[in-house]
């Protein structure tokens, strides 16, 4: 991926105040997402992946460091970011079509009612939900609801699409179906995607770059670029090349979980950012990453 970075995450650190004291979740995390790119973020459970998505979407601000989208510092929620989560949360009292149209009623799209409807219908047919426009969410299967949720996230043409484990609750066959739909949608819609997932096969199937976060407090421990001719059909997931990528990622996850020692030869740090952001925090004793894995 050689395009310019659309999302720049620079030296981000974040600590939550919890009932049992401060919990540092991110530590000097830096990573770039190129315009039009598809980056998957994987890492141990609880390492801070969802926190990262909240920072990118502007639902939270980092205590240290900064997040920029298209060069602009993210200071709050913005309509140029669409989100889809594991739980689609569709409104039962609205039809599927009207659920998908909802963001267009909230952000100023400049579209007429007819154009809004056409846009929603186009997306629904793209994901295979033609004919289900007038159904209620409860009349659809989990996979269908997730397809509708994807349409809703994209209907206002966001520059950035954040996918926080959107396929996590689906059965294996439905999930693979959705992966293929995702490729189809990406070919039609020019967004930049950040996908949070626990599924390494999903990460190499969908993304062109996979970032492994370290254990908490997380930094970008390892970056794997998936070659253009990498897995893009389900059969490609069973090639020696895919097996090699999965083995690398599994090993990096084991390092992140502290179940394998950091291995200098296999670690590749995230590309260094051009300039440090103001006020990077001093790491607490014992929290500094090993040189082998540090971004």
Ligand X SMILES: Nc1ncnc2c1ncn2[C@@H]1O[C@H](COP(=O)(O)OP(=O)(O)OP(=O)(O)O)[C@@H](O)[C@H]1O
Choosing from 18, 20, 112, 138, the residue that interacts with ligand X (CB under 6 A) is 18
Q: How far is the CB of 171 from ligand X (least distance, A)?
A: 19
Q: Does 46 bind ligand X (CB under 6 A)?
A: yes
Rounded CA gap, 152 and 132, in Å?
Answer: 14
Residue number, 181 or 197, with CB nearest to ligand X? 197
Q: Does 25 bind ligand X (CB under 6 A)?
A: yes
Q: Does 238 bind ligand X (CB under 6 A)?
A: no
Residue number, 23 or 246, with CB nearest to ligand X? 23
Binding mask 47-66 for ligand X (x = CB under 6 A): xxxxx---------------
Instruction: For residue 192, give the H/E element and its range.
Output: strand 192-196
Q: Does 16 bind ligand X (CB under 6 A)?
A: yes
Rounded CA gap, 23 and 283, in Å?
Answer: 13
What DSSP string describes 209-261?
A: EEEEE-SSSB-EEEEEEPPTTSS-SGGGGGSHHHHHHHHHHHHHHHHHTTSS-
Indicate the SS3 state at residue 36: coil
Indicate the SS3 state at residue 145: helix
How many residues in the shown chain lie near ligand X by CB under 6 A?
A: 11
Q: How far is the CB of 51 from ligand X (least distance, A)?
A: 3
Q: Does 45 bind ligand X (CB under 6 A)?
A: yes
Residue number, 11 or 216, with CB nearest to ligand X? 216
Cβ-based neighbours of 166, under 8 Å, separated by 6 or more: 84, 85, 86, 146, 149, 150, 178, 195
Stretch that binds ligand X, among 16-24, 74-82, 116-124, 275-283 (CB under 6 A): 16-24
DSSP 99: H
Q: Does 14 bind ligand X (CB under 6 A)?
A: no
**Binding interface with ligand X (CB under 6 A):** 16, 18, 23, 25, 45-51
């Amino acid at each position: 991926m050689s395009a310019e970075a659309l999302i720049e995450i620079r030296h981000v650190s974040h600590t939550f105040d919890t009932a049992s004291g401060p919990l540092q979740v991110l530590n000097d995390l830096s990573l770039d997402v190129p315009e039009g790119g598809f980056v998957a973020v994987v890492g141990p459970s609880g390492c801070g992946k969802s926190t990262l998505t909240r920072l990118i979407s502007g639902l939270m601000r980092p205590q240290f460091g900064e997040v920029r989208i298209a060069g602009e510092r993210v200071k709050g929620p913005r309509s140029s970011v669409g989100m889809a989560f594991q739980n689609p949360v569709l409104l039962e009292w609205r039809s599927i079509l009207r659920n998908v149209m909802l963001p267009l009623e909230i952000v100023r799209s400049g579209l007429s009612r007819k154009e809004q409807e056409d846009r929603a219908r186009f997306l629904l047919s793209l994901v295979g939900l033609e004919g289900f426009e007038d159904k209620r969410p409860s009349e659809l299967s989990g996979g269908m609801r997730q397809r509708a949720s994807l349409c809703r996230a994209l209907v206002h043409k966001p520059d950035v699409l954040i996918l926080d484990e959107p396929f996590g609750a689906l059965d294996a066959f439905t999930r693979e179906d959705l992966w293929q739909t995702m490729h189809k949608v990406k070919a039609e819609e020019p967004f930049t995607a950040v996908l949070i997932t626990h599924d390494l096969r999903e990460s190499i199937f969908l993304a062109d770059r996979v970032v492994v976060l370290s254990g908490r407090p997380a930094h970008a421990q390892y970056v794997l670029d998936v070659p253009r001719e990498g897995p893009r059909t389900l059969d490609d997931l069973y090639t020696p090349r895919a097996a090699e990528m999965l083995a690398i990622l599994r090993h990096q996850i084991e390092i992140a979980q502290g179940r394998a020692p950091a291995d200098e030869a296999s670690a590749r740090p995230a590309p260094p950012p051009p300039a440090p952001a103001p006020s990077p925090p001093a790491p607490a004793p014992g929290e500094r990453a090993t040189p082998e894995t540090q971004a």
